[in-house]
A and B are shown apart, each in its own frame.
Chain A
Amino acid sequence: MVRMDAREDGFEGLVRELTPFLFRVLTPWAFSRETMEDLVQEVWMRVYRGLPGFRGRSDIRTWVYRIAVNTAARRFRREAKEAVPTETEWSDGREASDPAKVLERRLLRRRLAAALARLGPGEREIFVLRAWEGLPFAEIARWVGSTEGSVRVRYFRAVRKMRRALEGLEEVLHAG
């Protein structure tokens, strides 16, 4: 878990501190370690380019997180249009011997990413911090600069939307 009051060590320190966090919260958008590294690298490039415009009005970790989730969601939309699986998506070493398992996980991630794409950006940020980082509502409120009550409302709204989007998941996986 990333602490909000962590010491500022410049860009390199930020990369070292937040990269493991990004690997956790971007879980639904990457099919393999290679695609995850590609995605996280793109996030850091965007952060680096955007740093001159960062005014420090919010915590820099919150800013990086927002860029990360928006980058992932945008990339998913772009790749969904292309609908071409890359070689690396199938190269999960541990499961390579079980193509059915690989396909099932791939379908599950795609379904989750599609469901996340239907959330509003504010809902998505909150849901991801809760689902994959396991942060308490009070901590999430600090991350997104909102009140705990508002975060709870948006979170439960997001969960309801996700549940509706994931209905019939079993049939989809079996059909795959």
Chain B
Amino acid sequence: MRVEDDRDVLAVCRSLERFEPSAGFVERVLACCRGLEERRRFSVVGAVGLPVAAAVFLILLGVGLVALPFPDDPADPALVAAFVEDHRDLVESFAEAPTVEGGFGLFVLFRDYARSWDETLTPGTVRRSYAQLVEVLERWGG
């Protein structure tokens, strides 16, 4: 199998065997997600809630970041979801016991994560996405 020009690249890609989902796969996925919802309902984070002072801090931090320049850049929900997923333990522990230092550390970590996740993201999108993460934390806190 030679790759000598651009058409060969596509030929190589399309030579790969494709797979089909097995019977009942979609139902299994849906069952997993329902199980996830049940676990979330009884999670510690949801039960403990976020202290009011910390919530205010998070709101101010989020609002402050959004108020910076780049007003037209939208948030990227996929980035937020990926960050929460990859740093779930950290995010959950922060939501349980937020601190100013922790908030700053979280933003630095999020900013660095966003850069490696997609280097084409604008600073405005990163900031608005962080604000969206703050909103998610608030919801977790009830």
A residues within 8 Å of B by Cβ? 11-12, 15-16, 19-20, 23-24, 27-28, 30, 32-33, 36-37, 40-41, 44-50, 52-55, 57-58, 63, 66-67, 70-71, 74, 92, 105, 108-109, 112, 120-122, 130-132, 156, 159-160, 162-163, 166-167, 169-170, 173
Contact = CB atoms under 8 A, between A and B. Distances in A.
Nearest to B132: A53
Contacts of A167: 3
A19 B26 contact: yes
Contact size range, B:
35 or more
A131 B78 contact: no
Contact of A53 (B18, B20, B135): B135
A91 to B, nearest CB: 12
Main secondary structure, interface of A, reads: helix
B12 A46 contact: no
Interface in B120-139: 120, 132-133, 135-136, 139
Contacts of B101: none
Nearest to A69: B78
